[in-house]
Structure 1
Amino acid sequence: MQSTSLSATFALAGFTVGLGLTTSARADFMEDSKLSLALRNYYYNVDNRSGGADQKEWAQSFKLDYISGFTEGTVGLGLDLRGLVGLHLDGGKGHHPAINTFLPSEGDGSAQTTWSSAAAAVKARFSKSEIHYGNGLTPNLPILIASDSRLQSQSFGGGILTSKEIENLTLTTGQIERAKGRASTNSTGLSVSGATKDSNKFRFAGGDWRATKDLTLQYYYANLENFYSQNFLGLVHILPITNDSSFKTDLRYFKSTSDGRNGQPGYAFNNNGGYAKNPGKIDNTTWSTMFTYTLGSQSLMLGRVQVSDDGGFVYLSQANVVNESGQNEGEGGISFYLFTDAMIGQFSRAGENTNIGQYSFDFTNLGVSGLKASISYLNGQDIKAADGHGPDQHEWETDTRIDYVVQTGPMKGFGTTLRHGTYRSGGTGVANQEQTRLIFNYTYAFF
């Protein structure tokens, strides 16, 4: 392990706790602390319908989180610690692909039997502002999302400041310097899809303003040095209709441009395998509109995402680290803030216009509390051919999801998720797939 080593974790812990805290400060630090163990059992099956190798993996993850309170005083100090352990249960060589985002790889191409990592972050609180610095950060922002769709979650290293000094306004700024992938124990630099160089400076700032109780406005700016700059505007409005019905409007706009060395050897963006007006360069505008009508236990969501013709939608990725067997170290697989971030496809190439529909049902009113189901359909058209001259391409995907969480009794909080996805492409180069995921989650809180 690199920056997530156990020795570094405990050294940081000792430094923080030993800052001359008074007895009362230590008491407050401990009284508000939380310790929990999250268990995740995950079966992942990819049935490749285009002739490539299938992927079958089954594994268990243990995540131990210690989140301290803050010491008393004008500036409160705290510490967050995380330990991760993974166990490979089944799959083995032949079912573990060279490009993977599920389990770390051995030198012979098989999945590692066991692996572990640790992270630590110090934090401080002043008035209504908090700063976190270290590893294991899991932001959920329009311009940066830590993906949690595999056995272990992605995390980042750096610093994030969140301020709520102004009523109804949340301001966030920071700098991310490294990332740990969903299937890796090591931290890597930051990059974009297709690039071989990386950066250790992803800077961002923005805010969420709750203009009224039903309306939230957002603006964020982000810059990945030598790759891209990005502006985001968002609007979320919920219109109550009756006591059990509402209409939600969700609008998202991204404008991304080239920065620094972008386009030069090693810094080129592959535009998600699609067309680029200026090869290797980032130049994109993406609109997303989504409308959701909710009536009692049911909701219907309809929307559209439009990607501009000049290049694909860009989002933060990681440097591609390859081991001696030619396999990557599981650093890929970041999420992004569009409704097209589906179970299998991404629907983010130049010119792509995607129509989206989703129907969801909550079974609580039928006497089955904790049971939810949904089915969604995405259809992407008008994708520009990578060479700019071929016929337009297309793709579609259908995703089905069932979630159940035990509501009472000794197993309260135990969750089960079953997901199935079907993906088909027309000229995009992405393999036709059937994907099945079965996930069990349970978190035990010690205090």
Structure 2
Amino acid sequence: MSKQWACLIALGLTAATPALGAGQSEAKGFIEDSSLNLFLRNAYISRDYKQGNQDKAEWGQGAVLNFSSGFTQGTVGFGVDAFGLYAVRLDGGSGRAGAAGIDFFRVDNNGDVERDVARAGASIKLRFSNTVLAYGDLRPTLPVLNHDASRLMPESFTGTMITSNEIEGLTLHAGRFHAEARKSDENRDGGRLKAIDLIGGRYQFNDVFSGALYASDIEDVLERQYINLNYMRPLAQGDSLTLDFNGYNTKQDKEFDPDEGRNRIWSLAATYATGPHAFTVAHQRSSGDVGFNYGFYQSEGWVGNGGSTIFLANSFWSDFNAKDERSWQLSYAVDFTEYGAPGLSYVVAYVRGDNIDAGAPSRGKEREWFNQLSYKVQSGAAKDLSIRLRASFLRVSEDARAYNSEGNEIRVFVDYPLNLF
């Protein structure tokens, strides 16, 4: 990572240049610009596996209290962010619950599922001009390190992050993290993460074209680079055509994989939006010695870069990321606001993958039907409360079952954010 950390030094020098925007010069104060909010989530996931695999189901209620201070006034601003989370299991027992597959609550040494999970974290932050340095328990949302918030409770990572917006349209990130708190675990380093370094950024070239480049290095696991190109072309009568390209290049370290396996995976999606309707066609392709890996269970625990760090078009229940896999997607989305139901939306997608190398004599296939109905309350006492109902039906050919398991999945999420001040 020597070149990446050279870039980090350059980023620090950039932060020392005169500000091009408001940033710290408009700091309102530690208390004056602070906020406190409570996020409530009731979540249920059920997986009905086929071919004799054990079915899984978990149901829980969680709460996350988030505090974010403003920055003190002056040349360098100081602030603090903190969070506390608690979740309780609502399902009836350990038979269908547990960490494997769903990961709401951990399984203890006796094989019993924990009844609850509680964790807290905090970070300090310094701002100079338009650059922020943060250290502590953070929840990054980046294509090479994305905290997983797709279950009951979110992950967090402990480390240092620099975010710089000194140049208009350009956002730069650099960081080093040394601990990962899994979403179902009270342990601050339940992920047994040695270290992960990252650097990169996104640039908005103009109103219709943007791009991003990132790189990361998970110590003794893998090195990875990411690229994104996004182009949105406005059409007549408010219609638009969006092209979105995402790609990863990965090399696994010898300490984890003696063969130092490599993987390249990319996706290209084209979305045509007209009125409340959006139609998407996407193609995704994986190549190399291994499939795309974004996390690993090892004897000492989980090692990875976030359970949802895969910014690709064909990532649903299956990520269609097997060795040599090729997949196509057709999807349709509709916003019912125009039909008198503001806040109601629906998405349906069909993805089919083939050419899977799972070690069988022949190449395997998989296919998934994905459906999601969402509703967000628009006004009143329950404003911003949202409900998501999701159903996925995944089928996998026999020669691909070493890579994936087929089944039916149901998810019900009820989220309620509350701004306390």
Report % sequence identity.
30
Q: CA deviation at 1:242?
A: 2.3
Q: CA deviation at 1:114?
A: 2.2
TM-score in terms of structure 1 length: 0.83
Distance 1:393 1:27, change over 3 A: closer
Residue 113 of structure 1 is matched in structure 2 by 115
Separation (CA, whole Å) in 2 of partners of 1:221 and 1:332 = 15
Matches within 5 A, 1:230-245: 230-245=224-239
Q: CA deviation at 1:423?
A: 0.8
Residue 122 of structure 1 is matched in structure 2 by 124
- After superposition, the C-alpha distances for 1:98-126 in whole angstroms (9 at most, x for unaligned) are 62412122444332222211011111111
Residue 198 of structure 2 is matched in structure 1 by 204
Q: CA deviation at 1:303?
A: 0.6
Q: CA deviation at 1:308?
A: 0.6
- List runs of 5+ in structure 1 lacking aligned partners: 1-24, 191-197, 265-277, 323-327
Q: CA RMSD in A?
A: 2.3
Residue 172 of structure 1 is matched in structure 2 by 173
Distance 1:446 1:319, change over 3 A: farther
Whether contact under 8 Å (1:317, 1:332) holds in the other structure is no
1:381 aligns with one of 354, 359, 366? 354
Distance 1:30 1:232, change over 3 A: same
- After superposition, the C-alpha distances for 1:365-404 in whole angstroms (9 at most, x for unaligned) are 00100001001111110011326xx100111111100110
1:310 aligns with one of 289, 296, 311? 289
Distance 1:140 1:318, change over 3 A: farther
Corresponding residue SS for 1:148: coil
Matches within 5 A, 1:177-256: 177-188=178-189, 199-256=193-250
Residue 368 of structure 1 is matched in structure 2 by 341
Whether contact under 8 Å (2:348, 2:372) holds in the other structure is yes
Q: Which amino acid aligns with 1:32?
A: D
Residue 61 of structure 2 is matched in structure 1 by 60
Equivalent pairs counted in the alignment come to 392
Q: Which amino acid aligns with 1:206?
A: G
1:289 aligns with one of 246, 262, 268? 268
Separation (CA, whole Å) in 2 of partners of 1:28 and 1:163 = 20
Q: Does 1:443 align with 2:420?
A: no
- After superposition, the C-alpha distances for 1:28-67 in whole angstroms (9 at most, x for unaligned) are 1001110011110112111122222222221100110001
Q: Which amino acid aligns with 2:411?
A: R
Residue 370 of structure 2 is matched in structure 1 by 399
Corresponding residue SS for 2:118: strand
- List runs of 5+ in structure 2 lacking aligned partners: 1-25
Residue 194 of structure 1 is matched in structure 2 by none
Corresponding residue SS for 2:400: coil
Separation (CA, whole Å) in 1 of partners of 2:408 and 2:400 = 17
Whether contact under 8 Å (2:98, 2:104) holds in the other structure is no
Distance 1:336 1:221, change over 3 A: same
Q: Which amino acid aligns with 1:394?
A: K
TM-score in terms of structure 2 length: 0.88
Residue 342 of structure 1 is matched in structure 2 by 316
Whether contact under 8 Å (1:57, 1:91) holds in the other structure is no
Distance 1:102 1:200, change over 3 A: same
Q: Which amino acid aligns with 1:371?
A: L
Residue 21 of structure 1 is matched in structure 2 by none
Whether contact under 8 Å (1:417, 1:438) holds in the other structure is yes
